[in-house]
Chains A and B, each alone.
Chain A
């Protein structure tokens, strides 16, 4: 890393994207989430806070 500009001139070695999974998991790849449903105390609370009419009010202009 260059201390003046921050531009990293060295090509980073290729870092394979996925963290390897345990050999027991089919096909390798990412791990599934550890629980079978959203956390009742946190995520469902966050979901209940959403105004049921929010999407009805949401208006945008057509984009590309």
Chain B
């Protein structure tokens, strides 16, 4: 089973106001995408962040009190809950909405890394287009968007990677197999950050570290996402048939600008999940994983070692090498994409220890460090100069005319896995082999008849009673394509559902 997706919360600023209301700005940004009126169609019934994968339900989250305070303020606004969230489903099957005062884009579900990277980049362009429209209304380039994870004052927002996994894998096995890998994944997937922060506790200049999120990891396992953030999030919200599947929801990752880093981040994690499923994951339990995340992040020489449970120490590179060796032994030759990941993973680790300059344009933390070192040398400034944090921020600006990453990309110094034509197409059509493509097709073909929509279901009007397209177990590509054909050829969604029901009866 191979299915993954990325959700990204963007930072948003407006430079023409003394006091910015982030709720309004995020809402207006999402609404700027629309060409018609906003319609309340997102169905929130599948969302319950209190269910814990360890087999219980928590009575409250750390963020609940803060959320209640915000809710009191929001109650005085002239908008409903639905209006504030402004949830949209895009023609490519992605979700675009205001999540906790950040515009968020969630890719449609993807089966291949190439698709995932393409739909992630389609999100950048979708948000940039929305910002352009918003700025035309405002009369100047006042709104800027950042694909990063920190405000350099102790406030973080996430980029979560998600994986569909069989529920038959014991959660304890996932924890044992994943935690040491995730602690060290930042060596290949860190976005790089100037300074050190604590949760809502300020900023210390004078440093550069691998990861934007490492400072915000506070515990090994937790269902929380806004406070007490965990290395491995235990939220049990499968958005699929609960009896068969889990959705692994990882919140430790950084938002990547480099396509290569995004592909390696998700590709290596998917491979580690395959290892866990086969019982072939390395066993290398760490004494203090939370401290290890921070220690490894703060050592750009990659010499830091962390303590193993039971004695001995290990470096981040050694941890990653342990995983790539186990993966090569168990999975080499499985398929072309697995072989690509195995090859590039090993090559990257080798270059990190020998000549990391070759990874400029491929790994974000290496690329950003290279830019900042060059600039600091030219301008004769030190690491404590506030200009460097500003350049760090601007690396992530998604305006192609301003962002530093996009400046590098326009000079051909960034490795691409996609083409501009791929990205353009991915803004309008979903993946052809996942239910994400079906969701997008429903939006394009039958928008007027959609009563409600979410990850698992689309409910249509048009009959005596609303009819539901259930996609909670729609993961086989052949079945997806069969359903797509039915939807394309039907004159109405009700006809399509009738035909689809008959097809399924024939298969039984």
Which A positions have Cβ atoms within 8 angstroms of B?
2, 4-12, 14-18, 26-39, 42-44, 46-48, 50-56, 58-64
Contact = CB atoms under 8 A, between A and B. Distances in A.
A16 B102 CA distance: 35
Contact of A62 (B155, B371, B404): B155
Contact of A59 (B155, B199, B227, B336): B155
Give 9 nearest A-B pairs by CB, closest first.
Answer: A63-B157, A55-B389, A52-B387, A54-B390, A33-B413, A30-B415, A60-B151, A27-B347, A64-B225
A52 to B, nearest CB: 4
A12 B25 CA distance: 39
Interface of B: 9, 11-13, 22, 66, 99-102, 112-114, 151-153, 155-158, 160, 194, 199-200, 225-227, 251, 260, 263, 335-337, 340, 343-344, 346-347, 350, 357-362, 370-371, 374-375, 378-379, 385-387, 389-394, 402, 404, 407-408, 411-415, 417, 428-430, 432-433, 437, 440-441, 444-445, 477, 481, 484-485, 487-488
A31 B22 CA distance: 41
Contacts, number: 188
Contacts of B361: 30, 32-33
A16 B346 contact: no
Given A17-B417, A32-B358, A11 B481 contact: yes
A62 B114 CA distance: 31
A57 B185 CA distance: 31
A46 to B, nearest CB: 5
Contact of A52 (B66, B200, B343, B386): B386
Nearest to B485: A9
Contacts of A46: 402, 404, 407
9 contacts: A7-B432, A17-B114, A47-B371, A55-B389, A56-B389, A61-B102, A62-B66, A62-B227, A63-B226
B248 to A, nearest CB: 15
Contact of A12 (B370, B413, B432): B432
A53 B386 contact: yes
A11 B389 contact: no
A34 B412 contact: yes
Contact of A63 (B102, B194, B362, B429): B102
Given A46-B404, A53-B390, A63-B226, A58 B344 contact: no
Contacts of B151: 58-60
A15 B358 CA distance: 24
B415 A31 contact: yes
A34 B413 contact: yes
A6 B444 contact: yes
A11 B429 contact: no
Nearest to B49: A64
Contacts of A43: 371, 404, 407-408, 411
